Chain A
Amino acid sequence: KQEVTQIPAALSVPEGENLVLNCSFTDSAIYNLQWFRQDPGKGLTSLLLIQSSQREQTSGRLNASLDKSSGRSTLYIAASQPGDSATYLCAVLSGYALNFGKGTSLLVTP
């Protein structure tokens, strides 16, 4: 069974810092990997989707990389802002549905 792990579980940084969130998965036979954002009490918003044949995707200040052979992905957030405060979830598609990590709770302080 696919297991997805996210490190760290929580992170607090001052505004303006660049930061990296980590995701690892146990089975490299995946179709894609997705990063989501979740605000408290809300649903999930898709940030980036990386197909299994791709190495990275970029959207604005966000960059996600994928190393399928080692079972790792990173989400890089540049020049963090207080509005980036949320929980970030990593999920891999290796069957008909996504397998999620437990998330990284990010707090960006002014």
Chain B
Amino acid sequence: DGGITQSPKYLFRKEGQNVTLSCEQNLNHDAMYWYRQDPGQGLRLIYYSQIVNDFQKGDIAEGYSVSREKKESFPLTVTSAQKNPTAFYLCASNALAGGQETQYFGPGTRLLVL
């Protein structure tokens, strides 16, 4: 089956700890995205990547970092600098950034702070 997988489903972070959220796609898509969703809010863009080894900051990149070493993988690290990390994190992809196709979303990772 083609699609986007995210792991883990739930992630717990201790204060001062960096944690990494996984996102993998087998759709052969060039563009990948990370969004954050807070209760009652729309999705806000954290980072996006149009091609391998390239990525751009979105609206709320502070306290987050990403890498894009492989086309199918776009991990997100939530660093200790992110003071309010509790949220639902969604990864998405489409064939080409800014293209006319729909975005496909993964099932999400819920991050909670201990």
**A interface, CB within 8 angstroms of B:** 4, 9, 31-32, 34, 36, 41-46, 49, 51, 89, 91, 93, 95-98, 100-103
The CA-CA distance from A89 to B68 in the complex, in Å, is 28
Main secondary structure of the interface of B (DSSP, over half): strand
Number of B interface residues, CB 8 Å? 30
Q: Given contacts A4-B42, A89-B42, are A96 and B56 in contact (CB under 8 A)?
A: yes
Contacts of B48 in A (CB 8 A): 96-97
Number of A-B contacts (CB under 8 A): 60
Main secondary structure of the interface of A (DSSP, over half): strand
- B1-46 interface (Cβ within 8 A of A): 4, 6, 31, 33, 35, 40-45
**Pick from A4, A96, A98: contact of B50, CB under 8 Å:** A96
- B41-78 interface (Cβ within 8 A of A): 41-45, 48, 50, 56, 58
The CA-CA distance from A98 to B106 in the complex, in Å, is 15
19 sample A-B contacts, Cβ–Cβ < 8 Å, listed by A number = A41-B108, A43-B105, A43-B106, A43-B108, A44-B43, A44-B105, A45-B105, A46-B104, A49-B101, A49-B102, A96-B48, A96-B56, A97-B33, A97-B58, A97-B97, A98-B43, A98-B103, A100-B42, A102-B41
B67 to chain A, nearest CB (A): 18
Write the chain B residue with the least CB distance to A95: B98
Instruction: Tell yes or no: B111 within 8 A of A by CB.
Output: no
Contacts of B106 in A (CB 8 A): 43
The CA-CA distance from A98 to B37 in the complex, in Å, is 14
The CA-CA distance from A4 to B59 in the complex, in Å, is 15
Instruction: Tell yes or no: B100 within 8 A of A by CB.
Output: yes
The CA-CA distance from A49 to B58 in the complex, in Å, is 23
The CA-CA distance from A95 to B104 in the complex, in Å, is 17
Contacts of B58 in A (CB 8 A): 97
Contacts of B50 in A (CB 8 A): 96
B44 to chain A, nearest CB (A): 8
Contacts of B101 in A (CB 8 A): 49
The CA-CA distance from A95 to B58 in the complex, in Å, is 11
B108 near A42 with CB under 8 A, answer yes
The CA-CA distance from A42 to B4 in the complex, in Å, is 13
